Amino acid sequence: MRVWHSAQNATSRSQDMAINMENTTNAVAEVANVAQNQALLSESLNNLSERFKL
């Protein structure tokens, strides 16, 4: 019985680690998207500045 519980706990921890890795991957992708959006906004502001000579 103890071995079964130990295996079950190991499986649960493994699943938790997989979920944490997926969450980390998603968070990194979100940071990359924010950085890309920031670059696009900066480019847009530069274009507006050029257009209106701000």
Per the CB < 8 A criterion, the answer to whether 22 and 16 are in contact is no
Nearest-angstrom CA–CA distance, 27 and 23: 6
Q: What is the residue-averaged pLDDT of the chain? A: 95
> How many Å is the Cα radius of gyration of the chain?
23
pTM exceeds 0.75 for this model: no
- Assess whether pLDDT exceeds 80 at residue 54: no
Write down the pLDDT at residue 8.
92
